[in-house]
Chains A and B, each alone.
Chain A
Amino acid sequence: MNPDASTIAAGAPIEVDLSPVAEGQDIKVFWRGKPIYISHRTKKQIDEARAVPVASLPDPQADEARVKAGHDQWLVVIGICTHLGCIPIAHEGNYDGFFCPCHGSQYDSSGRIRQGPAPANLPVPPYQFVSDTKIQIG
């Protein structure tokens, strides 16, 4: 009763072209049925994310660990709130990150949980940079 072969095949990796995404913009793509936010972060957002003391976070994780080296402006997270599964809204909330309208969880510009009932940061899916303007998710 585990996922069948065609479901697994439909979950094969996808390539996303990043060149149309301007700074400060984000897009949403679907992979394996899950929404994935790809954010082209501004310098302000990156600095804000890095300025937070990691130990003070509910789910401690450094921003550097959530992005690829040399591509710090690109944040790729699965857009499913780790509380009960709603899709958080991008560019909302007190931390210029994500805000989940269902029960009020707030994530920062690195997709980390800062406030609210969600227990964990927005998960980062497996991805790699195929070129400077293209990533492969999965």
Chain B
Amino acid sequence: MSGPSDYQPSNPALQWIERRLPILGLVHSSFVVYPTPRNLNYWWTFGAILSFMLGIQILTGVILAMHYTPHADLAFKSVELLVRDVNYGWLLRNMHACGASMFFFAVYVHMLRGLYYGSYKEPREVLWILGVIIYLLMMATGFMGYVLPWGQMSFWGATVITNLFSAIPYVGESIVTLLWGGYSVGNPTLNRFFSLHYLLPFLIAGVVVLHVWALHVAGQNNPDGVEPKTEKDTVPFTPHATIKDGFGVACFLLLYAWFIFYMPNYLGDADNYIPANPGVTPPHIVPEWYYLPFYAILRSIPNKLAGVIGMFSAIIILCFLPWLDAAKTRSSKYRPLAKQFFWIFVAVCILLGYLGAQPPEGIYVIAGRVLTVCYFAYFLIVLPLLSRIETPRPVPNSISEAILAKSGKAVASIAVALVAAGALFVGTLQDARAEEGGTKPPGNSWSFAGPFGKYDRGALQRGLKVYKEVCSNCHGLSLVAFRNLGDPGGPGYSAAQAAAFAADYKIKDGPNDTGDMFERPGRPADYFPSPFPNEQAARAANGGAAPPDLSLITKARSYGRGFPMFLVDFFSQYQEQGPDYVDAVLQGFEDKVPAGVTIPEGSYYNKYFPGHAIKMPKPLSDGQVTYDDGSPATVAQYAHDVTTFLMWTAEPHMEARKRLGLQVFVFLILFAFLMYFTKKKVWADSH
């Protein structure tokens, strides 16, 4: 922003506005004629991608907030009902959850770009520090957002992270009580996190405005680190940068769409599909992937307070970067040593992330400590040292000169390497998180697997029969309504059939006019009734173990697939760990306990249940349920059918998701092509 603009709109109405609020001139000078260095590469499109993602998160978030209930007793169900009943609720939820991951992915690329090209150096120090502030706000927002669904991981992640603040001397306990709003993580905590989660993104937006303002004062950095000198060095922002950013956004959207439509739970944790239980700690408490490197640093330092300080320092140290690295040469392109250390630093960060998901035992602890030292050494030792001793290569005289000399093949290979590293990293997370302590279930072929998967209608109907005749005696299905049996993409009942099915059930209703509760036949709008009135009754009737509700069971269970399967899974979109597990457990009962294994009194031996001792007796035997369509009445068939049915109860809109995904993908691929060729045309004279 360089003083009053001389832009005058031609339209008289717009001139009237311009004279009173020169917003059009502002947009014109900042985003149309704004001189952009001619040599920017695609790493510079991530700023636009980030702005786009902030907009998407706010938009999807505001709409989700219209349907979400921030109360500990109601939150989990409100999210599930949102996904099932709100029009395209499943899409909004997937966009918001996957959007958070994509937001962090983009911000890490954006920050690494800044690190590599020296974008934090004079005169862009304030720009850089504003960026760190945005990053901190993003981390707070992401943390609070993850708590809102009130699953097991939400609750326990909140417990662990809020407990961190108790390490602060004197004020620690008071801060924790303030965060909790009570004596532990509970309803007041959820309420205030919801309020702050709604607020913080708008603070982020405000700081982003400052960030872009600071950027426009100094002008953008560029891959050669040489400031623009003449008009030949720059091009107007519109159409050049606009179209290039558009192409960048289109490619980014392809990755985003892949997660939304085909791998929505890949970056998440199965445990978060279990409602929060303050009395049961999950075996592995792991934060979302974007916090893992800092979690690893926290756990590496054996002292509680030092660990907290170490974790926050790992972020705060970024603020000091402009002074730690005082080298005159901006871009690592011309700094051969700095370049190598940069890539080592990236590897350190990825490895720290991997360690953050592992249990803190043995070699992982040692590796974590070594890598934490490496992380800090990069900022405190390597960069200051290099700025003193390194002899950089000669920097080109101007941007135009740099363009004439450039080659530009490096970017593609780096991108490939990053994707491979990313796949490895994310794959190991899924592996690490999954349940331990049982034999690995065999993989099955499911009709609903893969990008074109569909539910086998016959299996759904047979599975419903198995549920009704066997499982419903102990297990509830409280998220499924009778009307859902008639929904598209499900068992395919007609409305009349669903109504008749419902009428078979006795539903408690009331109070009536005399104040009494009464029973009436079920209606399509009713939900499947639970066999027990409350958890205590369920426990008492089942030897102390409450049979879990089955609505989400296939999404709430998982298992580690091991190397190299998890890598293959990333590309083949395998996400059927839950159904494999359920199917295996149903068939995994053995009458004879293996030699050397003892199980407690009242339990049964199951090959695939973690710990092998399950309180449920073998539920299925051959011939137990008669199938009308002539399918074999075997345990294997029952298990397969009821698991398919339970996958549908967990995700009734899967077919719609995959169908829309295909349409979106075709559109985005065409769109990306169009953007690419338009970009080529626009830039034809400028490269």
Contact = CB atoms under 8 A, between A and B. Distances in A.
Interface in B143-202: 156, 159-160, 163-164, 177-178, 180-186, 188, 192
A3 B182 contact: yes
Contact of B181 (A4, A32, A83, A102): A4
Given A34-B184, A35-B278, 16 more contacts: A1-B181, A3-B183, A7-B183, A7-B188, A11-B182, A11-B183, A30-B279, A32-B182, A33-B278, A34-B183, A35-B279, A84-B164, A86-B285, A102-B281, A103-B360, A119-B303
Nearest to A119: B304
10 contacts: A3-B177, A3-B181, A28-B279, A33-B184, A34-B183, A85-B163, A86-B156, A86-B160, A86-B281, A102-B285
Contacts of B178: 1-2
Contacts of A4: 181, 188
Interface size class of A (residues with CB under 8 A): 20 to 34
B182 A117 contact: no
Given A103-B299, A117-B302, A32 B163 contact: no
Interface string B485-515: 0000000000000000000000000000000
A104 B361 contact: yes
Nearest to B180: A3
Nearest to B361: A104
Tell me what chain A mostly uses at the interface: helix, strand, loop, or mixed.
loop
A35 B184 CA distance: 10
B602 interface: no
A103 to B, nearest CB: 5
B171 to A, nearest CB: 13
Tell me what chain B mostly uses at the interface: helix, strand, loop, or mixed.
loop
A1 B283 CA distance: 33
A32 B184 contact: yes
B301 to A, nearest CB: 10
Contacts of B163: 84-85
Interface in A71-122: 83-87, 101-104, 117, 119
A30 B177 contact: no
Contacts of B279: 28, 30, 35, 87
A83 B303 CA distance: 10
B280 A87 contact: yes
Interface residues of B, number: 28
B447 to A, nearest CB: 37
B182 A33 contact: yes
Contact of B278 (A7, A30, A101, A103): A30
Interface string A3-47: 110010001000000000000000010101111000000000000
Contacts of A34: 183-184
Interface in B273-319: 278-281, 283, 285, 299, 302-304
A102 B159 CA distance: 13
Interface of A: 1-4, 7, 11, 28, 30, 32-35, 83-87, 101-104, 117, 119
A4 B192 CA distance: 12
Contacts of A83: 304
Given A1-B178, A3-B183, A7-B181, A87 B360 contact: no
B299 A85 contact: no
Interface in B353-373: 360-361
Nearest to B167: A119
Contacts of B182: 3, 7, 11, 32-33
8 A-B pairs closest in CB distance:
A33-B184, A32-B183, A85-B163, A86-B281, A85-B159, A7-B182, A84-B160, A87-B281
B84 to A, nearest CB: 30
A33 B304 contact: no
Contact of A101 (B192, B281, B302): B281
Nearest to B187: A7
Contacts of A33: 182-186, 278
A87 to B, nearest CB: 5
A34 to B, nearest CB: 5
A83 B307 CA distance: 11
A87 B152 CA distance: 13
Given A101-B281, A101-B283, A104-B361, A85 B183 contact: no
Contacts of B186: 7, 33
Nearest to A101: B283
Interface string B237-280: 00000000000000000000000000000000000000000111
A82 to B, nearest CB: 8
Nearest to B178: A1
B192 A1 contact: yes
Contacts of A32: 182-184
A90 B360 CA distance: 21
Nearest to A103: B360
A129 to B, nearest CB: 23
Contacts of B184: 32-34
Contacts of B281: 86-87, 101-102
A2 B177 contact: yes
A83 B302 CA distance: 10
Contacts of B283: 101
A83 B299 CA distance: 10
Contacts of A117: 302, 304
A85 B178 CA distance: 17
Contacts of B159: 84-86
Nearest to B304: A119
A16 B303 CA distance: 36
Contacts of B164: 84
Contacts of A85: 156, 159-160, 163
A41 B552 CA distance: 40
B546 to A, nearest CB: 15
A102 B153 CA distance: 13
B526 to A, nearest CB: 32
Contacts of B156: 85-86
A87 B600 CA distance: 22
B360 to A, nearest CB: 5
A85 B159 CA distance: 6
A3 B189 CA distance: 10
A41 to B, nearest CB: 22
Nearest to B159: A85
B310 to A, nearest CB: 14
Nearest to B279: A35
Contacts of A101: 281, 283
B285 A3 contact: no
B493 to A, nearest CB: 43
Nearest to A11: B183
A119 B303 CA distance: 8
A3 B184 CA distance: 10
Nearest to A10: B182
A2 B179 CA distance: 8
Interface in B54-110: none
B144 to A, nearest CB: 15
A104 B181 contact: no
B554 to A, nearest CB: 25
Contacts of A3: 177, 180-183, 188
Contacts of A102: 281, 285
